[in-house]
Amino acid sequence: MDAATEQFPPSHGHEAHEPHGSHKAAHHDPGFWRGYIFSSDHKVIGIQYGMTALLFLLFGFFLMILMRWQIAHPGEPVPFLGPLLEKILGQPAAGGVISPELYNSFGAMHGTIMVFLGIVPLAFAAFGNYVVPLMIGAPDMAFPRVNMASYQAYFLGGVVMLVSFFIPGGAAQAGWTSYSPLATSIPTHGQLFWIIGMVLLITSSLLGAVNFIATIIQLRAPGMTWMRLPFFVWAQLVTAFILLLAFPPLEAAAIMQMMDNVAHTSFFLPTGLAVGGKLAGVSGGGSPLLWQHLFWFLGHPEVYVLILPAMGIVCEILATNTRKPIWGYKSLVYSVLAIGFLSFIVWAHHMYLTGMGTEISAFFQATTMIISIPSVIILTCLLISLWGASIRINTPMLFSLAFLPMFGIGGLTGLPLGFNASDVYLHDTYYVIAHFHYVVAPGTLFALFAGIYHWFPKITGRKMNEFWGRAHFWGSFIFMNLVFMPMFEQGIKGMLRRMANGGANYSAAVVPGAIDTLPGSIMQLHTWILWAAVALGIAQIPFIVNFFWSIRHGEKVGDNPWQATTLEWQAPTPPPHGNFAVPPRIYRGPYEYSVPGHDSDFTPQNEPEIAAPAMPKAPIPVH
């Protein structure tokens, strides 16, 4: 490999003669099944992950719209979709009305689908698969067949989750957190399906995590030292470690909950448990807190799985469009490592109200405050990177710029939740819902949209339409805020989450005279949120149309339309099997934009040093 790199031309042309050692498979057509369905090529798998995850996101969005209808209009049949729902789901949607049980199913599955089948597969698996090997100059992932198995396990997990809607009793109803003993007491096998689905998803992310770490450690091209890795790769590396180490305890918990379900053990069921006013007849001795600890031991690191890849994407796009090196690259790297480590010791800030004791609460309160420091450092570095730049505004950049304040709002509103005293009031209210949606929806999801617009030209050779991209951005930006901002207000006024009727039974209209009821103005917000959410859905139509239209009809572009420095843009478009025409060698850091004395305002990572000893010294051109 080394010998071949020496002849790598300093230009970015790729029509160069076929290098020796290039993969033979690039020459013959693998056919439809091997090429698109059972492919082990990281790019195809990345696209498979991406498309599947986008479909799940859309599905989760529809579940949410149905729930919002039910919250705003409790007991009224869903317009248009009601009869269809009844036809598909039968009794739980009798008369086109979403029953409280069905609401609970939708709630639990909305959370599960969005987190485990939507955002994580898109942020980590799809972008990671497509971009990481290209960025580090690797021909593929370290274990291509394991990679394929990872996607298949994910797909199967998704199918199991979907099937659970149609079994008698319906899908899981105990929230995406599946707290025991509630989860074991609801009379539906949906919970069992949930557990089996989760075990498949955990297997999938485990295989993916091993693969990513091994790829990044082993397959970096010559010259790609650790401090020359693009920040996105660092973010993915840390994410992979979190997935590798945080998911197994949830798997352990899932196995135990399955035993509780199937073998009637009492891991999470306390002595004397009564369900529906009757003794449950279990052997007892179990601990409901145990489930919560094991769940949140995954659950909190999981939120960093949701956010770190997004930060990585935003960082790449900011660097490209500010035409200037990222400010504080090393601080970013050390911060992301610190977050990865600290994310394992903050989990019980989700459990302040469980009575686990003030010392334990104090400990987790302290660690929670500490972990916000590296998060703020990352945000600050990204903000300062904008300083003094001549910013190029395009759709990916708009989404990335919006990410910064949106994540800022989400992160800052996390602080009152991290303090034990204020969380006692805010816990399980809509404030929490608003908090984490700000980080995940206008935060992570915006970054993912940015990534799609940004890397689309590499995948298809065409740009997405800029006008409709901006329409998508502004619609999403406005309506996203209109959906989530009012929830802070509702939460602060005391509205609890997970109520099928949107808290009507606590409203001043229903129980006049009672103290601390929810005023009409707060209940009114439900209607606003509903229509803002519908508008948010409509704002996605330009995206969907643009996406498919641009695959065929978008503006044709070359290998490096954004004039970016990182390696994926130096590969042919779309990259062939094996990725690079010539094995690349890396000579410089990831963000060499506007380097003084260089004749273009970007210097690709694989461009050799001008002062290479073999070359005669040429006078530096003056602009």
Q: Which residues bind another protein (CB under 8 A)?
A: 1, 21-23, 138-140, 142-144, 146, 206, 209-211, 213-214, 217-219, 244-253, 255-256, 259, 263-267, 271, 283, 285-287, 289-290, 293-294, 297, 578-580, 583
CA atoms of 150 and 166, how far apart (whole Å): 26
Smaller CB distance to ligand HEM: residue 403 or 468? 403
How many Cα atoms occupy the beta-carbon half-sphere of 594 within 13 Å?
Answer: 12
What are the φ and ψ backbone dihedral angles of 154, each rounded to 5 degrees?
-60, -45
Q: Output the residue with the shortest Cβ distance to ligand HEM.
A: 414
Site for Cu ion in 207-236 (CB under 5 A): none
The option from another protein, Cu ion, ligand HEM, none interacting with 46 (CB < 5 to 8 A, set by class) reads none
| 435 touches Cu ion (CB under 5 A) | no
Residues that bind ligand HEM (CB under 6 A): 177, 303, 306-307, 349-350, 368, 372, 375, 411, 414-415, 417-418, 423, 426-427, 432, 435-436, 439-440, 444
Closest separation in Å from C-beta 445 to Cu ion: 19
CA atoms of 70 and 64, how far apart (whole Å): 10
Distance from the first to the final alpha carbon of the chain: 38
Smaller CB distance to ligand HEM: residue 355 or 621? 355
Smaller CB distance to ligand HEM: residue 110 or 472? 110
Q: Is 507 helix (H, G, I), strand (E, B) or coil?
A: strand
Smaller CB distance to ligand HEM: residue 78 or 306? 306
| 300 touches Cu ion (CB under 5 A) | yes
Q: Is 491 helix (H, G, I), strand (E, B) or coil?
A: helix
Closest separation in Å from C-beta 371 to Cu ion: 9
Closest separation in Å from C-beta 346 to Cu ion: 6
C-alpha distances in Å from residue 356, one per residue of 27, 182, 218, 615: 62, 19, 43, 68
* Helices and strands in the chain, H and E counts: 21, 4
In the numeric block, the tokens 């601080």 are attached to 331
Contact status, residue 385 vs residue 327, Cβ threshold 8 Å = yes
Smaller CB distance to Cu ion: residue 300 or 462? 300
Binding segment for Cu ion (CB under 5 A), chosen from 70-78, 156-164, 226-234, 298-306, is 298-306
Closest separation in Å from C-beta 449 to ligand HEM: 16
The burial of 382, by beta-carbon neighbours within 10 Å (0-12 exposed, 13-18 middle, 19 or more buried), is given as buried
The option from Cu ion, another protein, ligand HEM, none interacting with 500 (CB < 5 to 8 A, set by class) reads none
Smaller CB distance to another protein: residue 91 or 225? 225
Comparing CA positions, the residue from 104, 72, 68, 66 lying closest to residue 86 is 66
In the numeric block, the tokens 């010998």 are attached to 3
The token duo for 493 is 């006024």
The option from Cu ion, another protein, ligand HEM, none interacting with 208 (CB < 5 to 8 A, set by class) reads none
CA atoms of 298 and 292, how far apart (whole Å): 10
CA atoms of 584 and 232, how far apart (whole Å): 19
Smaller CB distance to ligand HEM: residue 43 or 427? 427
Closest separation in Å from C-beta 251 to another protein: 6
Which residues are within 8 A (CB) of 72 and not within 5 positions of it... i.e. 6 or more apart? Answer: 502, 526, 527, 529, 530
Contact status, residue 206 vs residue 298, Cβ threshold 8 Å = no
The option from another protein, ligand HEM, Cu ion, none interacting with 317 (CB < 5 to 8 A, set by class) reads none
DSSP H or E segment with residue 463:
strand 462-463
Q: What dihedral angle (degrees, nearest 10) is formed by the CA atoms of 184, 189, 192, 194?
A: -100
The token duo for 65 is 């719209």
The option from ligand HEM, another protein, Cu ion, none interacting with 414 (CB < 5 to 8 A, set by class) reads ligand HEM
Contact status, residue 320 vs residue 373, Cβ threshold 8 Å = no
Smaller CB distance to another protein: residue 59 or 580? 580
The option from another protein, Cu ion, ligand HEM, none interacting with 196 (CB < 5 to 8 A, set by class) reads none
Closest separation in Å from C-beta 519 to Cu ion: 31
Smaller CB distance to ligand HEM: residue 67 or 307? 307
Closest separation in Å from C-beta 299 to another protein: 13
Smaller CB distance to another protein: residue 5 or 476? 5
Q: Is 612 helix (H, G, I), strand (E, B) or coil?
A: coil
The option from another protein, Cu ion, ligand HEM, none interacting with 403 (CB < 5 to 8 A, set by class) reads none
Residues near Cu ion (CB under 5 A) are 300
